[in-house]
């Protein structure tokens, strides 16, 4: 964590003073926000829609390392990872609630920096920050964000809606966030061993994928424009293999993914090779890409065919066919989830 040029201890403001300071920067703009910060609870009007609610917790030394993650980026990311879950329901995020646990090593200026990133994400995605909580921590920084979204009752998409022979589609490219993390961890180790300054040149794309991911609102808009309704959907937070298995098991189906179809950016591919890693393994299990993985009816194939933002990577099968990966030589392997496990912290 970079020390600010001036340092104001949190104790000089107290909990309520800190809340007042943060609240003074928040301006609600979403029509469904009836009451934001300033009362015992926020008041939200669902406007006749289904509400979707999701929450994620980010814990220092488990989910992030302040040795190389700027606080503003961390604030931005903490909002985005929750919005991604809302988009994965085919819904539109409307409001967020933020909880912070802070140790006394964080001055007021550091909290300002964290909140600046959060508010930047809220402005970018048109979301209101309507409340939350602050408390002390004996073990570092903890961020808990709850996101609330809305969707027409007949438009919500679940993981469990896939059907046999549906096409499996993913947005963007995979493995970049994981390789960005490998660069950051490597340079941290070099700095600790020798004091040498980090060499991050040439890795802008994969570093941004790790430090400042974006939720794929554009894909939801694109699918609506193409008149394509996913039959199931999930965001890629824990790794493609893990998410594909979630869809298959929730839908009572098998799945077949083709290795040669996986979208991997050249920068990700080259960096994986530099680290002696298999790019396919990174794409399948790296996690934190925050792309959208979804299924569509075969009849919609022509509507998405050739779109540069979307890649068909496989299809859903009968449950008896299993959940498999087909390698470049045609060999068939059981698809295994080897990505992030929240309880194991790895």
Q: How far is CA 191 from CA 1, 68, 194, 267, in A?
A: 15, 11, 5, 23
Q: Where are the domains of the chain?
A: 13-151, 159-334
Q: What average pLDDT does the segment 122-126 reach?
A: 97
Nearest Cα residue to 28 out of 148, 145, 122: 122
Share of the chain above pLDDT 70, in %: 93
pLDDT at 19: 67
Q: How confident is the model at residue 340 (pLDDT cuts 50, 70, 90)?
A: very low
Buried b (16+ CB within 10 A) or exposed e, 294-326: bbbeeebeeebeebeebbbbbbbbeeeeebbbb
Q: Residues 74, 110: contact at Cβ < 8 Å?
A: no
Distance between CA atoms of 232 and 293, rounded to whole angstroms? 8
Return phi, psi of residue 290, to 5°: 55, 35
| Chain CA centroid to CA 233, Å | 14
Q: Does residue 222 have a pLDDT over 60?
A: yes
pLDDT at 16: 61
Q: What average pLDDT does the segment 106-116 reach?
A: 93
pLDDT at 346: 45
Tens digit of pLDDT for each residue in 288-310? 999 999 999 999 999 999 999 99
Q: What average pLDDT does the segment 38-55 reach?
A: 87
Burial class (CB in 10 A: 0-12, 13-18, 19+), 241: buried
Q: How confident is the model at residue 221 (pLDDT cuts 50, 70, 90)?
A: very high
Q: What average pLDDT does the segment 136-147 reach?
A: 93
What the block records as the tokens of 228 is 């394509």
Q: Does residue 343 have a pLDDT over 50?
A: no
Share of the chain above pLDDT 90, in %: 77
pLDDT at 15: 63
Q: Return the higher-pLDDT residue of 3 and 139.
A: 139
Q: What average pLDDT does the segment 314-322 reach?
A: 97
Q: Residues 158, 90: contact at Cβ < 8 Å?
A: no
E-assigned strand segments in 78-197? 92-102, 128-136, 142-151, 167-171
Mean pLDDT is lowest, of 93-102, 235-244, 329-338, for 329-338
pLDDT at 342: 42
Tens digit of pLDDT for each residue in 245-278? 999 999 999 999 999 999 999 999 999 999 999 9
Q: How confident is the model at residue 344 (pLDDT cuts 50, 70, 90)?
A: very low
Distance between CA atoms of 283 and 239, rounded to whole angstroms? 7
pLDDT at 339: 57
What the block records as the tokens of 113 is 């920096």
Q: How confident is the model at residue 1 (pLDDT cuts 50, 70, 90)?
A: low
pLDDT at 95: 98
pLDDT at 345: 47
pTM exceeds cut of 0.85: yes
pLDDT at 6: 79
Q: Does residue 163 have a pLDDT over 60?
A: yes
Q: Which CATH class is domain 159-334?
A: alpha beta
Domain 13-151 has CATH 3.60.10.10: no
Burial class (CB in 10 A: 0-12, 13-18, 19+), 329: exposed
Arithmetic mean of pLDDT over the chain: 92
Mean pLDDT is lowest, of 82-96, 186-200, 315-329, for 186-200
């Amino acid at each position: 964590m970079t020390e600010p040029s001036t340092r104001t201890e949190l104790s000089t403001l107290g909990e309520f003073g800190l809340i007042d300071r943060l609240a003074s920067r928040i301006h609600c703009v979403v029509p469904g926000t009836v009451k934001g910060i300033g009362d015992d609870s926020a008041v939200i009007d669902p406007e006749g829609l289904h509400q979707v609610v999701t929450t994620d917790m980010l814990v220092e030394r488990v989910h992030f390392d302040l040795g190389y993650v700027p606080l503003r980026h961390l604030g931005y990311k903490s909002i985005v990872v929750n919005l991604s879950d809302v988009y994965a329901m085919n819904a539109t995020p409307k409001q967020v609630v933020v909880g912070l646990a802070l140790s006394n090593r964080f001055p007021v200026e550091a909290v300002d920096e964290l909140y600046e990133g959060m508010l930047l994400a809220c402005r970018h995605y048109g979301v209101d920050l309507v409340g939350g909580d602050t408390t002390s921590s004996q073990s570092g920084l903890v961020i808990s964000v709850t996101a609330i979204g809305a969707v027409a009752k007949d438009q919500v998409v679940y993981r469990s809606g896939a059907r046999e022979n549906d096409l499996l589609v993913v947005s963007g490219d995979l493995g970049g966030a994981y390789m960005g993390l490998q660069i950051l961890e490597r340079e941290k180790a070099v700095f600790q061993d020798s004091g040498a300054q980090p060499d991050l040149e040439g890795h802008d794309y994969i570093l941004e994928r790790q430090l400042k991911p974006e939720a794929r609102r554009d894909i939801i808009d694109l699918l609506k424009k193409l008149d394509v309704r996913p039959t199931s959907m999930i965001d890629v937070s824990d790794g493609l293999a893990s998410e594909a298995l979630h869809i298959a098991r929730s839908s009572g189906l098998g799945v077949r993914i083709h290795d040669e179809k996986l979208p991997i950016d050249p920068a990700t591919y080259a960096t994986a090779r530099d680290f002696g890693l298999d790019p396919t393994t990174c794409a399948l299990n790296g996690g934190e890409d925050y792309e959208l993985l979804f299924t569509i009816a075969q009849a919609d194939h022509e509507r998405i065919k050739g779109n540069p933002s979307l890649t068909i990577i496989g299809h859903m099968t009968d449950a008896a066919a299993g959940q498999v990966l087909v390698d470049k030589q045609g060999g068939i392997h059981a698809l295994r989830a080897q990505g992030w496990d929240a309880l194991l912290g790895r």
